[in-house]
Chain A
């Protein structure tokens, strides 16, 4: 898949801090790419540089295979950090300004307002809007002109549970239409529920990147042990031969741990080992939360 956004060795230094350090990542076309990390990890700074509002101290950004320009930014619909509007103008007037800047037809304004459920309040000044309403208006602005790429920085900020569900549904619908979506979030389950790919940032550095199923799957770990009189190495060898046993590890006490490929159960594993003439004395599963995995990634 060609890359929509390519970031190489990106660094952003402020007077006393380094917000992003030597960050390289690539967003494949058609992916829902999660930029995951705790507050202050450098997500917004990275996107701010990619979208031309911050200057990098080092490194390069390429959109659509070329150096970024104002024209390339017009192909991207973005909601970065906070919704930014003229408070004395109405929702519709603000979207007209967005449409002018994006050089898109104002004909899409009505549809965008409908999509975020603000059509009924489009003539009210934005200063009277709640944070959630402003956030929805910012989403409408990002959707104007039906851009091929969407950059959404904490898009569910300030939304109520229904609003959060709606935004997630919207992201999934847009992704199904083939658009590339870059989603920055500190919410693990948000990234896991909607993203195909993810990069984990911590203190401005990239800690992990790849398919979400690889780096953030809430896989359970299976623990196995043979009877004390059996040779532990025998179990380890047998497990390596089981095709659905993954990341097999042998502990010093003879216990083996592993994860199962999707669609396989511990019962199947037990059967496979029994077929090889091995009888287990212990089999248990350890449930690992997303949080545990995330903390493990950022602490490594």
Chain B
């Protein structure tokens, strides 16, 4: 039940710290990124100008997607640690309900991240690009929806690992190992036409680097999926990971 999850989440200070940190880091990076030099040229106002504003911003935000993932891991593993998942089953919740509750939390965290991107984008768009609010908002839906699909994929993987491992630190280590090491190793052994469907590669392509176009011009097309093609893959992974979490919770003792 969403109301019950809010009762757990709202008084949890760590959750607020992580969520505010996400927003603050995004705003600070967006403010500072204008000074970055690319190919000897300062990004400057180009970062905040339409039509690239939202693509640039969700690319920056994707660097911090691990923060809501860590928070979701803590929220799930805490419940194993406090044995409150067990107590809720004893009190009359079904195991499927428990998974559904955490899916609602993942949607809530994604909502916070999207609102943060929206607020930061609107602020910098208005103050630094000179565009009007209507034009800025009109350009937002596609990049934001792609970012939402990426976040849902990340959070689904985080939830699956949390249900599997049940302790916060090993789960966070496992997530980082998969994202940074394991999948890259797997990609090394797989041909391009298969490895572009691996979870991290498909998720990452949803928020492409603003420099990707330049790189493609220089190096030729990368063989990765197009962002639009990656959406069903990302959502497919999200559904698969949540179903696996439900299965794990169903077959295991609590």
Note whether A and B form a binding pair: yes
- Which A residues are closer than 8 A to B by beta carbons? 48, 51-55, 70-71, 73-74, 78, 80, 82, 84-89, 93, 96-98, 100-103, 141
Using Cβ atoms and an 8 Å threshold, which residues of chain A touch B84?
84-86, 97
B28 beta carbon closer than 8 Å to chain A: no
User: Which residues of B (220-254) have their CB < 8 Å from a CB of A?
Assistant: 251-254
A87-B82 in contact (CB<8A): yes
CA A74 to CA B93, docked complex, whole Å: 8
B11-A101 in contact (CB<8A): no
Least distance between A214 CB and chain B CB atoms (Å): 31
Using Cβ atoms and an 8 Å threshold, which residues of chain B touch A141?
91
B1-A88 in contact (CB<8A): no
For B12, the closest partner residue in chain A by CB is A88
- Please encode chain B, from 72 to 114, with 1 for each CB lying within 8 Å of some chain A CB and 0 for all others: 0000001000111011111111100100000000000000000
Least distance between A45 CB and chain B CB atoms (Å): 10
Least distance between A63 CB and chain B CB atoms (Å): 11
Besides A70-B89, A101-B1, A141-B91, 15 new A-B residue pairs in contact (Cβ under 8 A), listed by A number? A52-B90, A53-B253, A55-B251, A70-B92, A70-B93, A73-B89, A78-B90, A80-B86, A84-B84, A86-B8, A88-B11, A98-B87, A98-B91, A101-B4, A101-B92
A78-B91 in contact (CB<8A): yes
Q: Could you pull out 18 A-B pairs where Cβ atoms are within 8 angstroms? A: A51-B89, A53-B90, A53-B254, A55-B252, A70-B92, A70-B97, A71-B92, A73-B90, A73-B92, A74-B92, A78-B91, A86-B8, A86-B84, A89-B7, A93-B7, A98-B87, A100-B4, A102-B91
CA A101 to CA B78, docked complex, whole Å: 18
Nearest 9 CB-CB pairings of A with B: A74-B92, A84-B87, A84-B83, A101-B91, A70-B94, A100-B4, A73-B92, A53-B254, A54-B253
Query: Which of the residues A54, A74, A84, A100 comes within 8 Å of B7, measured between beta carbons?
Result: A100
B7-A96 in contact (CB<8A): yes
A89-B92 in contact (CB<8A): no
For A103, the closest partner residue in chain B by CB is B92
Query: Which of the residues A51, A74, A86, A103 comes within 8 Å of B82, measured between beta carbons?
Result: A86
CA A51 to CA B91, docked complex, whole Å: 9
Most B-side CB within 10 Å, residue of A78, A85, A86, A87? A86
- Please encode chain B, from 1 to 43, with 1 for each CB lying within 8 Å of some chain A CB and 0 for all others: 1011001100111000000000000000000000000000000
- Which B residues are closer than 8 A to A by beta carbons? 1, 3-4, 7-8, 11-13, 78, 82-84, 86-94, 97, 251-254
B82-A84 in contact (CB<8A): yes
Query: Which of the residues B4, B90, B97, B251 comes within 8 Å of A80, measured between beta carbons?
Result: B90
A101-B88 in contact (CB<8A): yes
Least distance between A211 CB and chain B CB atoms (Å): 28
B92-A84 in contact (CB<8A): no
Using Cβ atoms and an 8 Å threshold, which residues of chain B touch A102?
91-92
Least distance between A43 CB and chain B CB atoms (Å): 15
Using Cβ atoms and an 8 Å threshold, which residues of chain A touch B82?
84-87
Least distance between B229 CB and chain A CB atoms (Å): 40
A55-B253 in contact (CB<8A): yes
CA A89 to CA B82, docked complex, whole Å: 12
CA A80 to CA B87, docked complex, whole Å: 8
Most B-side CB within 10 Å, residue of A53, A55, A85, A103? A53
Least distance between A155 CB and chain B CB atoms (Å): 14
Least distance between A241 CB and chain B CB atoms (Å): 54
Least distance between A75 CB and chain B CB atoms (Å): 8
Least distance between A279 CB and chain B CB atoms (Å): 63
Least distance between B121 CB and chain A CB atoms (Å): 34
Using Cβ atoms and an 8 Å threshold, which residues of chain B touch A98?
87, 91
Task: Indicate whether A97 sits within 8 Å of B7 (C-beta atoms), given known contacts A54-B253, A87-B82.
Answer: yes
A89-B89 in contact (CB<8A): no
Using Cβ atoms and an 8 Å threshold, which residues of chain B touch A55?
251-253
Using Cβ atoms and an 8 Å threshold, which residues of chain A touch B3?
100
Least distance between A20 CB and chain B CB atoms (Å): 13
Least distance between B7 CB and chain A CB atoms (Å): 6
Most B-side CB within 10 Å, residue of A74, A82, A88? A88
Most B-side CB within 10 Å, residue of A55, A74, A97, A141? A97
CA A80 to CA B90, docked complex, whole Å: 8
Using Cβ atoms and an 8 Å threshold, which residues of chain B touch A96?
7
B93-A101 in contact (CB<8A): yes
CA A102 to CA B1, docked complex, whole Å: 11
CA A78 to CA B92, docked complex, whole Å: 10
CA A177 to CA B4, docked complex, whole Å: 31
Using Cβ atoms and an 8 Å threshold, which residues of chain A touch B7?
89, 93, 96-97, 100
CA A73 to CA B90, docked complex, whole Å: 7
